[in-house]
Structure 1
Amino acid sequence: MTNTALITGSSRGLGLALARSLAGAGWNLVLTARDSLPLRAAADELGALALPGDVADPAHRRRLADAVPELDLLVNNASALGGIRPLDAFPLDTFRGLLETNVTAPLALVQETLPVLRARHGAIVNVTSDAATGSYAGWGGYGSTKAALEQLSNVLAAEEPDVAVWWVDPGEMNTAMLAEAVGAEEAAGAADPAKVAATLHDLVRSRPASGRVNLQ
């Protein structure tokens, strides 16, 4: 039986690195991200199905669910940063958008795919951040959405004993998102996403009990 994974935010960074790792192990992949050109390039490279779109769009989430009548792994990796700024100056419209992308969309996609994940005793990976638990000045908007995602994951794990649920802190990685936050020079010293993805793939393969996982 060939395993199938749906990975959001898979045109770059950790999502793309994990897709490459899983493809090397023979997984079928459905990839999605907002930027269609790099997403289609990744799909062509890996022999995957590309479905460009925004996970905050309910119609797009429905298309994703329809594309995976059999599903073994859902990876909620797509997220938005919203800028690094103090909470007293954080635009509320931006914060609402972060909640939609970083919290509502992963939960909604879980709801869309849970029936097939239950049937195949599948797994869910919700990618979080140390900003969910640390009091880092300027990171309150993003971090609070990741904290909400962690608690959703925690409760989901209790409610779904037949589905593995891991909320995964990948640590700092040399990605475009980190470079946006701290600058390219500092980001260049962070971990290679490919190495982090290999550790995440090992997690999926070994299937430990549901819970929070630090990958670095």
Structure 2
Amino acid sequence: MKSSYFTTLIQLLLLGAKNPIKLSTSDLAISIDKTQQTASMHLLFLEKNNMIARYKIDGDDVIQISASGLKYLLSVNQKIQSAFDDNSSTLVTGKVFSGLGEGAYYISLSGYKKQFISKLGYEPYPGTLNLKLSSNLHKQFIENLSNVDGIIIEGFTDKKRTYGNVICYPSIIDSNIQGSVILIERTHHDSSVVELISPTFLRKKLKLKDGDEVKVNISV
């Protein structure tokens, strides 16, 4: 079905044509911002393809979306919903590399650790797994990830210094391991790097060495 006809069918649904409604071609033309001739052509097509039924009551034009039309609309709606559901997580791939060991220090800080346990439901292994992304598309996704609501681990101040917020995005690592991608407010990494935390020592569990590829499914 051409998009213009589909748009008209959607507009009929919005006008209440799931049930019989009185609607002239001139009124429909205004509603879809087309000429009356175009509106009439759209109705003719939809009627011919059994998407709508048209008849008159007391001289008024009456239109109702048919059972076939409603079934078609429901099918499209389900496909759209399915697409949204599928996109509720995003798969990124990166290669393992060794960091500077800062992850173990920060993850172990009491101010962070208590919040990890209460908000994520687990105590992370003291350290992060660093991945270098190879795809520009994945880099762009990570760059924009901060615009998506995540689980905020609030920053704090101790006798030494002030620590920034950490935003966590629950993830599945290598298809079956629970963890989170973390965005650290104060980090020297750019969007080409993903840092992961997990209750599991990921390097040991997955037998990883620098250069190995890891897939991460991030819930957003």
TM-score by length of 1: 0.19
Q: Identify the structure with the greater strand proportion.
A: 2
Hey, which of these two has a bigger chunk of helix by percent? 1
